[in-house]
Structure 1
Amino acid sequence: MISRLLPPFFMPYYAGLDLRRHLWGFNTSMRDSSGVDLIAWLARKPEWKRNLGKDHFLISSRIARDFRRKSNRKSDWGSNFRVLPGSENITMLTIESGSSENDIAVPYPTYFHPSNDFQVHQWQEFIRKQNRPYLFSFAGARR
C-alpha cells in the first residue's frame, strides 16, 4: 500500500526572477513563454500526472498579482503564469497572499519583527488555524 502522504515536489523555477528578465520592453508572449514551457513539460511527467500539481510548489519572490495578467495587451503588467491551465493547482510561495488559496504568503524576513513572545505566539496560532491540506517546508542555503 502506498502512503497517502507523499513528499511534495519543490520546483526550482523562480517565477519572479524569470518574469523580471522580460517585464519591461517585451511583449506578453515573451513574458509568458517560460511558464507555458514549464507547464507543458510538467504535464508529461508521471509525478505531475499523479496529482496534477497539487503536490508541487515553487517560490515566486514577487507578489501573486504579478502572475495573474488576464489580457495580452503589451501595456498590461506581469505574466499569465497563474492563469495558465495546469498552474492553478501549484502552491506558490509569494511575498503577499493573492486571490487563490494556493498562493501562500511568506513575507520578506524584514516584514515580521515581533517585539515580544506574544506576537510570535499570535502568528503561530493564526497559521495553525488555516485550512491547509498540504504542508510544505523549505529551508534555503546558508549565506
Structure 2
Amino acid sequence: MRTPQAATNKKGYTLVEVAVGMTLLMMVLGSGFGAYIMGLRFAKNSRDTLRATQFAESKMEELRTKNWGDLESMPQWSLFFADPSYAPDHMDDFIGVLQIWEQNSEQKFIRCWAYWPNPHSSNYKSAHFDTVYTKDGLNDYFVRAF
C-alpha cells in the first residue's frame, strides 16, 4: 500500500520549533531594546551632568572677577539660577547654591553646588566645585559630581 505524498513530506517546522525560535528571538530583541533604553539614560545623565558643571563653573568664573572686599560682603549661603541666555531650554532645570566660609583671615573656602532633578526618582542629583579664595584672588577650582 502506498502512503500519500503529503503524509511523508518532511518539509516545514513543528509547532515546538517555532515556539522555541520565537522565544529566542524575543529574548534577543528584548535585551537589545533594554540596552538601548539604558544607553539613552546614560546619555541623558551625562548631558545633565555636563550642563550642571557648566552652570556651576559659570558662577565660579563670575567669582573670579570679584575682589576681596566684594567677597567679604557676600552672604555665607546664597541661591543662584541660570542666566536665560546661557541655556534657555534648561533654565529651570538647575538650582545653584553658593557657600562661602572663612578658613582664616587670609582665606575663604568656596563651594558652588548645582542641583537638578533626577528623572528616575524623586530626589536630586548634584555636582559641585570647590576652591580657596585668598586676598590675592581665586585659586584653581576642581569639580566633584555625585
| TM-score (ref. length: structure 2) | 0.28
Select the structure that is richer in helix: 2
Rg comparison, structure with higher value: 2
Select the structure that is richer in strand: 2
